[in-house]
Amino acid sequence: MTPGPAWVQPVTLMGTAVRLEPLGLQHADDLFAAAQDPDIWRYLPADPSAAPAALRAWITAALDAQTAGGELPFAIRDRATGRALGSTRYLNISARDRGLEIGWTWLARPARRTTVNTECKYLLLRHAFETLRAVRVQLKTDRRNTVSQAAIERLGAVREGILRKHMLVANGYIRDTVMYSVTDDEWPGVKVRLQRMLVALPS
């Protein structure tokens, strides 16, 4: 049975280290502080870090995309401090095809190389496959971003290929995009892999 048009609805996903909650303007101050690292925006389509107003406009644009039905943005809140330390989202949502993408993930520098990103991916994948009953979740990254590619591959996602001259990013560069996916039949193995990673990673 094909899901209805309101297949993906705002939801809060609770982990051990992080809480993923629907993005809103109430997160703007925390996210502006978290965004002050140029490395975050090197490979992304837009850089809203220049001023608080730009960050609020970025949130508003994400909420407009949510209203249009194609995206569901989250704030990543640190459960220990209560502060928002980054963002992620579902995008390219297709109820008809029971597929979506996880992307637009960015984190403040102190949260990198900790359990945060892995737990975010675990929560989003689990919700997609076990609650939404998706059959495919895709991820993508800039061909130049070898760190991101390695991180996606560690999750157990399958590298599918490269889309050449696919996207214009914030600095005007037209990037090649590396595509990955996890399918519903692969999810049980990926789930075990992620659970083991979460035990091993630093908090």
CATH of the domain at 61: 3.40.630.30
Average pLDDT for runs of 10 along the chain of length 203? 73 97 98 95 92 98 95 97 97 96 95 91 98 98 95 96 93 93 98 93 66
Residue 105 lies in a domain: yes
Residue 6 lies in a domain: no
How many separate domains does the chain show? 1
The Cα 134–Cα 93 span in angstroms is 10
The Cα 142–Cα 105 span in angstroms is 13
Residue 4 lies in a domain: no
Residue 8 lies in a domain: no
CA-nearest of 52, 46, 18, 54 to 103 is 46
User: What's residue 2's pLDDT?
Assistant: 55
At 100, list the tokens: 């979506």
Q: Cα 182 from chain centroid?
A: 14
**Residue 13 phi, psi (nearest 5):** -115, 120
Q: Cα 81 from chain centroid?
A: 21
Residue 5 lies in a domain: no
The Cα 156–Cα 151 span in angstroms is 9
Residues written for the chain: 203
The residue written with tokens 């579902």 in the block is 90
User: What's residue 127's pLDDT?
Assistant: 98
Residue 7 lies in a domain: no
User: What's residue 40's pLDDT?
Assistant: 93
Q: Are 169 and 132 in contact (CB under 8 A)?
A: no
The Cα 176–Cα 179 span in angstroms is 10
In three-state secondary structure terms, 195 is helix
The Cα 154–Cα 116 span in angstroms is 14
Domain coverage including residue 55: 13-200
The Cα 9–Cα 69 span in angstroms is 9
User: What's residue 6's pLDDT?
Assistant: 78
Residue 95 lies in a domain: yes
Name the pTM for this structure: 0.94
